[in-house]
Amino acid sequence: MAGPTHTLSLSQHLHLHLHLHLFSCAALALQQMRPYDRGGILVQNLPAVCFNGYSTLLAPANEVLIPQELLSSKTVWTPDRELGQYEDLVSRVTNFHNEDKGFMVLDGDVFDVPIRKDIVHRVVRWQLAKRQQGTHSTKTISEVSGTGRKPYNQKGTGRARHGTLRGPQFRGGATMHGPKPRSHAIKLQKKVRRLGLKIALSARTAEGKLLVFEDLEVPSHKTKNIVQYIRQMEDTKKVLLVDGGDIDTKLKLATQNLHYVNVLPSIGLNVYSILQHDTLVMTRDAINRIVERMHTPISR
């Protein structure tokens, strides 16, 4: 037997719609008070909790801001904030086991700078040019092994005149205008190199691909442990692990057989390595050392 049905009068319908409108306005106002992005949250004097890089306003105990039955699971409006405002961010600190280890403030002048592709291009070009060995070499006519005797008489043979068989037109002869050992390095100002690293860190932070770990300790040198940890990360194809000091021996042995996991100390962190990996994992110590390095005055 069907249950009783209830109908609402016109005034009750209007009253209910008015309440829904007020609750939706209150929800929007609360969200506008707390803009956030995927990589971190703004530091303001508002009570908040951070989970997986997202911020949520906290309601006082035993008090509900909006009745649960009036809330919808459908996303109506997604708040966002403008990037590159040099604002300090708060990030969640975890470890390989995804345990909560507190929070950490990321300096805005390092992790929230405007994205400039031209600066990143200049820094990457400088890196790739500087790492070229430049050991290529060819032999000139004076360095080629062979006799210096004139091959045949100047006249009377009907052939073209030649004075040596070591010329570039002969097989086994010299190479003209060939490469010689040299440095391919180009000059780039220190402030531009430093800005390129800040931009790369800010880009990963804005994408939500910067993870802050308490440490990089692993129980053993087994590769299967690292494989299991990486599988737990969402949308991760290639990971760069950055520690503050020297890399732990167990971590180095556990990752050396994985082509999609690389480990670097903080002193070796560079723009090209960050761009080659879609996920950047840094420890507290590594972030503190990077920030200290970015704040150190440039020696001229």
Res. 69 pLDDT band, cuts 50 70 90: low
Q: Are strands 279-283 and 210-213 parallel, antiparallel or unpaired?
A: parallel
Q: What is the pLDDT of residue 82?
A: 77
- Mean pLDDT over the full length of the chain: 81
Cβ neighbors of 149 (< 8 A, separation 6 or more) are: 164
CA distance 203 to 38: 11
Structure-model confidence comparison of residues 71 and 172, the more confident one: 172
- In Å, what is the CA distance from 139 to each residue of 146, 148, 163, 164, 170? 12, 16, 18, 15, 14
State pLDDT tens for residues 233-242.
Answer: 888 899 999 9
Q: What is the pLDDT of residue 299?
A: 83
CA distance 55 to 36: 7
DSSP code, position 14: H
Interval 241-255 mean pLDDT = 93
Token pair listed for 203: 């880009």
Q: What is the pLDDT of residue 50?
A: 44
- pTM equals 0.70
Q: What is the pLDDT of residue 53?
A: 53
CA torsion, ordered 13, 19, 24, 25, to nearest 10 deg: 120
CA distance 289 to 283: 10
What is the tally of helices (H) and strands (E) in the chain? 8, 9
Using the CB atoms, write b or e for 61-84: b if 16+ within 10 Å. Answer: eeeeeeeeeeeeeeeeeeeeeebe
Q: What is the pLDDT of residue 66?
A: 55
Q: What is the pLDDT of residue 135?
A: 96
Least confident of 27-36, 138-147, 280-289: 27-36
Q: Could you give the domains of the chain?
A: 83-131+185-295 (3.40.1370.10), 134-182 (no CATH)
State pLDDT tens for residues 201-245.
Answer: 999 999 999 999 999 999 999 999 999 999 988 888 999 999 998
| pLDDT at position 49 over 70 | no
Q: What is the pLDDT of residue 138?
A: 96
